[in-house]
């Protein structure tokens, strides 16, 4: 009988990164293939440092990172081929148009034009960038720049998409388009791990949520599972209506609990 358990898109074990103090302190985390995973925590909890190590932008002091079974520390190039990294500050080339930027990124990945060109057109249309495909990026708003960066990240159809506060500073329309594209990628079998301070986004979009504090995972699960762990099955002052606690209430309750591993 075959094991039907889905493989993990990301496995982190005993991950450590120190600066003047431990930023990530023995972190263990697993994200399933085809899952939307939100990593939440207060400022300074180690979220961005964790994502930067996953993406290969920082070398951990200890621990292991596996992306779809590949040891990302021993074979970083193979792991990076499966990933896309998008930060809160879009990193694109101002003098290029969106179409030129996608051609450039496709070339970096050595994608065949027969694949890259229709894929670029699909992404431009998907993100409502087609009307601006021939305009230089230097005149774009942050929302437009973020959408160009997202298109570039998705051009090679990555298995794992890593997003650090991707909706910060976006207007409602741009945020909706970005969320729509991410949902579609997950429906197609891709995996997303995202940090955000917009808890309503995590509440609506994430399949599972991890809460990190002091560089360690202190809680993990679905929102209902986190409510049970936090003891917030019902919203404050809502016992009569039976209304469930929001992610914000649950998140704050978890942070207030004594420190322990998830």
* Predicted confidence (pLDDT) per residue in 164-173, tens digit: 988 877 888 8
Residue 2 confidence class, pLDDT cut points 50, 70, 90: low
Residue 179 burial (CB count, 10 A)? 16
**Bridge partners of residue 164, in order along the sequence:** 195
pLDDT of 34 above 90 = yes
For a pLDDT cut of 90, what percent of the chain falls above it? 71
Least Cα distance to 50 among 262, 259, 215 occurs for 215
Q: Are strands 36-40 and 216-221 parallel, antiparallel or unpaired?
A: unpaired
In the DSSP assignment, the letter for residue 217 is E
In degrees, to the nearest 5, what angle opens at C-alpha 137 toward C-alphas 135 and 141?
110
Edge-first strand order for the sheet with 191-195 is 83-86, 160-164, 191-195, 36-40, 208-213, 216-221
As a whole-number percent, the residues of the chain with pLDDT over 70 amount to: 92
pLDDT given at position 5: 41
* Weakest mean pLDDT among 25-34, 88-97, 159-168, 169-178: 169-178
Average pLDDT over residues 185-191: 92
Question: What was the pLDDT predicted at 1?
Answer: 47
Q: Which token pair is 255?
A: 């942070």
Q: What is the pLDDT of residue 109?
A: 93
Question: Could you tell me which residues come within 8 angstroms of residue 155 by beta carbon, excluding any fewer than 6 positions away?
Answer: 102, 105, 106, 109, 111, 116, 119, 120, 123
pLDDT-based confidence at residue 153 (cuts at 50, 70, 90): very high
CB 245 within 8 A of CB 201: no
Q: For 198-256, what is each residue's pLDDT tens digit?
A: 899 999 999 999 999 999 999 999 999 999 998 876 555 544 445 678 899 999 999 99
> For residue 198, what are the contacts with CB-CB under 8 A and spacing of at least 6?
167
CB 123 within 8 A of CB 102: yes
Give the pLDDT confidence of 60-113 residue by residue, as tens digits. Answer: 999 999 999 999 999 999 999 999 999 888 889 999 999 999 999 999 999 999
Structure tokens at 246: 């929001």
Burial 18-54 (b: 16+ CB within 10 A, else e): eeeebbbbebebbbeebbbbbbbbeeebbbbbbbbbb
């Amino acid at each position: 009988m075959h094991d039907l358990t889905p493989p993990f898109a990301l496995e982190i074990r005993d991950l450590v990164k120190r600066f003047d103090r431990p930023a990530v302190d023995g972190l263990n985390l697993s994200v399933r293939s085809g899952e939307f995973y939100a990593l939440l925590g207060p400022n300074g909890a180690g979220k961005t440092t964790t994502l930067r190590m996953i993406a290969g932008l920082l070398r951990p002091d200890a621990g292991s990172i596996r992306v779809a079974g590949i040891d990302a520390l021993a074979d970083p190039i193979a792991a990076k081929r499966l990933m896309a990294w998008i930060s809160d500050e879009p990193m694109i080339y101002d003098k290029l148009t969106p179409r030129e930027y996608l051609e450039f990124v496709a070339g970096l990945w050595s994608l065949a034009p027969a694949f890259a060109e229709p894929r670029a057109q699909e992404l431009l249309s998907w993100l409502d960038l087609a009307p601006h495909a021939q305009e230089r990026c230097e005149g774009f708003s942050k929302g437009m720049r973020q959408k160009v960066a997202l298109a570039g990240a998705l051009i090679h159809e990555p298995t794992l998409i890593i997003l650090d506060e991707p909706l910060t500073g976006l207007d409602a329309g741009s945020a909706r388009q970005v969320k729509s594209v991410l949902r579609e990628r997950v429906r197609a079998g891709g995996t997303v791990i995202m940090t955000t301070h917009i808890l309503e986004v995590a509440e609506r979009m994430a399949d599972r949520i991890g809460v990190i504090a002091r560089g360690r995972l202190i809680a993990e699960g679905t929102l209902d599972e986190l409510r049970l762990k936090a003891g917030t099955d019902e919203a404050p002052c809502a016992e009569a209506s039976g209304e469930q606690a929001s992610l914000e209430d649950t998140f704050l309750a978890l942070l207030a609990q004594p420190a322990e591993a998830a």
